[in-house]
Structure 1
Amino acid sequence: MPGPGPVVVTDDPGADAYAMPGLPGRIVISHGMLDALDAAGREILLSHERAHLRHHHYAFVSLAQLAAAANPLLRPLARAVTYTVERWADEHAARRSGNRRAVAETVARAAVAAKRSRARSRVPAAALGILGRRPGPGMVPRRVAALLAPPPQSPPLLLAAAAALLAATGVCALDAAYDLHRFLELAHVR
C-alpha cells in the first residue's frame, strides 16, 4: 500500500471501502466511495472502518469462515458473525457521531454506490479485506433498520448470567485439570 498513513485512497472509480488488517492496519477507500459520500458520511465511514481495525473484527470473521469451511453446517454462524461485526462497527460509528440516522443514511448510500459500481464491473471487488467475500443480500436493510431503531441495551440480568456461566466454566475446567493431574500421578506410581 502506498504511503505511510492509516488511510489509503485508491484511484478506483468503483465505490469500495474496507479495513486491511496488519501492523498497523490500514483503511482502504476508493475515489468512487469518496465521491458518493459527503464530508459527514466520509467521517462516519472512517469511524466504522476504524472500529473494524481497533476491535480486530477480521479475526472473528476469519475464524468463523474457517470453521464454516471445515464444517459446512456452520455457514449460518459465519454469516451471523459477519453481520454482527458490521453492526458492532455501525454502533461504534453511531456513538462517535451522535447521530444514528446519519449513520443509517451513510450505510445505505455506501451500499447503493458499491452496488452500482459492481453492476458496471465484470470482476467482483473484494470486501472484508483478507477474505474476499461480500456479505449476503439483505444485510444492509437489516443494518439500516437497526440503526433507525433505539440503541440496543445490555440487560444487567443477561450480563450477570453470562458472567456466572463463564465463572462456572472456569471452575469446571480447573476441576478437570486437577482430576487429570491426580489421575496421572496415580498412573505414574503404579
Structure 2
Amino acid sequence: MIWPLTFLPAALTLVLAVVLSVAPLPLHPAWSARVLAVVAGTTAVAVAGTLVFVGLNYAATLAPGLADRYLPEWALFGDDQPVPAALGVPALALTALTAAVAVRLAVRWAAEVRHAQRGAGAVVQSDVPIALAVPGRDGGVLVSRGLLRVLGGVELRVVFEHEAAHLRHRHHRYLAAGALAAGTLPVLRRLNARLRFALERWADEDAAEAVGDRTLVAHTIARVALARAEAESSSSPLPAFTDSGVVQRVQALLAAPPSKNTITGPVLLTGVGTATGLLASAAWQLDRAFGLSIL
C-alpha cells in the first residue's frame, strides 16, 4: 500500500478547516455557519476514520485470526505489508483518546441541556443579564431577572426574536458539531469560534428582520453586553445573546444587511459538502465497500 494516500483524505480536510479558520467567507452568516459546520464535522470524521483504519490494520497484524473472522475485507489494506508499530500504536492510542473525549463531551452536553431545560420558560433569579436558547421538546428561552430589569419591552422582543432564531434553525446541532471537532482536534478550536460567531450573526440578522430595525438590535446587544460587564459568559456550549464578538456584531448590524446568497450559498455548501464528504468516506475506506479504488 502507499502510506501517503492513507492519510491524504484527513490531511486535505484538515488543511481546508485551517484555511477556513482564518479566511473570512463572503457569505450571509446563515451560509457561513452551514459551511463551517459541515467542514468541522467532516474533518473530525475524516481524522477519526483514518485513525480507526490504521489502528484496525495494526491490530490485525497482531491477531490475524481474529481479524479474518471479524473484520470485513474492505476494512483491511488487502496486501501483505503490515502496519509498523510506529504508526499503529499511536493510531490505537489516539483512537481511544478521541472516543473518550467524544463520549465525555456528549455526556456533558446532555447534562447541561437537561439542566437548562429545567429552568426554561422561567425567570432565573440572577442580577446578571442572561438570555439563553434551550433546545429540545422541553426547551425554550431562559432569561434572568437582571435582563428583565435592564431592557424595555421593545428590546426584550429583540432578545426573544434572537433566541427564537437559534431554536428555529436548531443551532444547537451546529454547535455540537463544532464542539466535537474542537474537542477531538484542538487545531479546530479557531474554526469552532468562527462557527459560534456566525451562528450569533445569523440570529442577529433574523432578529433585525423580525423587528425591522437593525439599529435597535445593535443597541440592544451593546446594552446587554455593557450590563453584564465583568459577569461575563458561562462555559455553556449553548448560544447566549451576547456570547461572542459583541463589537463585531454591533458593527455588522450598523452596516447594510448582507446579501442572502440565494445562489452562491447553496452552490458553495453543496460543493464543500460533497468534497469533504467524499474525503471523509475515503478515510473510512468506504470506497472499498462500494467497489471503488480511491486509495
| TM-score strictly above 0.5 | yes
1:126 counterpart residue number:
234
1:57 to partner: Cα distance: 1.1
TM-score (structure 1 length as normaliser): 0.75
Q: Does 1:50 align with 2:149?
A: no
In structure 2, the residue matched to 1:104 is 218
The residue number in structure 1 matching 2:138 is 24
- Does residue 150 of the first structure (1) align with residue 256 of the second (2)? yes
Cα separation, 2, equivalents of 1:161 and 1:130: 29
Structure with higher helix content: 2
TM-score of the two chains, using structure 2 as the length reference: 0.50
SS in structure 1 opposite 2:122? strand
Instruction: Name whichever of 14-23 and 84-93 sits farther off.
Output: 14-23
Kindly indicate whether structure 1 or structure 2 has the higher relative contact order, using CA contacts under 8 Å at least 6 residues apart. Answer: 2
Matched residues in 1 for 2:225 and 2:251: separation?
14
Alpha-carbon shift at residue 148 of structure 1 (Å): 0.4
The aligned amino acid for 1:50 is A
1:34 is aligned to 2:34: no
**Is residue 120–residue 134 contact of structure 2 (8 Å, CA) maintained in 1?**
no
Q: 1:62 aligns with which of 150, 173, 176?
A: 176
Amino acid at match of 1:150: A
Please give the alpha-carbon distance, in whole angstroms, between the structure 1 residues aligned to 2:153 and 2:269: 41
CA contact (8 A) 2:117 2:139 kept: no
Structure with max Cα Rg: 2
8 Å CA contact retained: 2:128, 2:145? yes
The one of 219, 229, 247 aligned to 1:115: 229
Query: Where do 4+ consecutive residues of structure 1 move more than 6 Å?
Result: 1-6, 176-179
**Whole-Å separation in 2 of the counterparts to 1:151 and 1:2:** 33
How big is the shift at 1:69?
1.1
Distance apart, 1:158 and its partner CA: 2.2
Q: Pick closer, same or farther for the CA change 1:80–1:2 going to 2, 3 Å.
A: closer
The question of whether the paired residues in 2 share the 8 Å contact of 1:19 and 1:26 is answered with yes
The verdict on how the C-alpha distance between 1:58 and 1:4 changes in structure 2, with shifts beyond 3 A counting, is: closer
User: Which residue, out of 12, 18, 22, partners 2:126?
Assistant: 12
Once residues 78 and 2 of structure 1 are traced to their aligned partners in structure 2, the CA distance between those partners, rounded to angstroms, is 22
Q: Once the two structures are superposed, what CA deviation does each residue of 1:21-63 show, in whole Å capped at 9, x if it has no partner?
A: 2213211100101111111000000000111111111221122
Moved more, 93-102 or 50-59: 50-59
For residues 138-177 of structure 1, what are the structure 2 equivalents within 5 Å? 139-155=245-261, 158-159=264-265, 161-162=267-268, 165=271
> Could you list the runs of 5+ residues in structure 2 that have no partner in the other structure?
1-114, 280-284
Q: What is the deviation of 1:15?
A: 1.2
CA distance in 2 between counterparts of 1:111 and 1:67 reads 28
Unpaired runs of 5+ residues, structure 1, are 119-123, 184-190
Question: Any idea what SS the aligned residue of 1:7 has?
Answer: coil
- Relative distance call for 1:61 and 1:156 in structure 2 (3 A) is closer
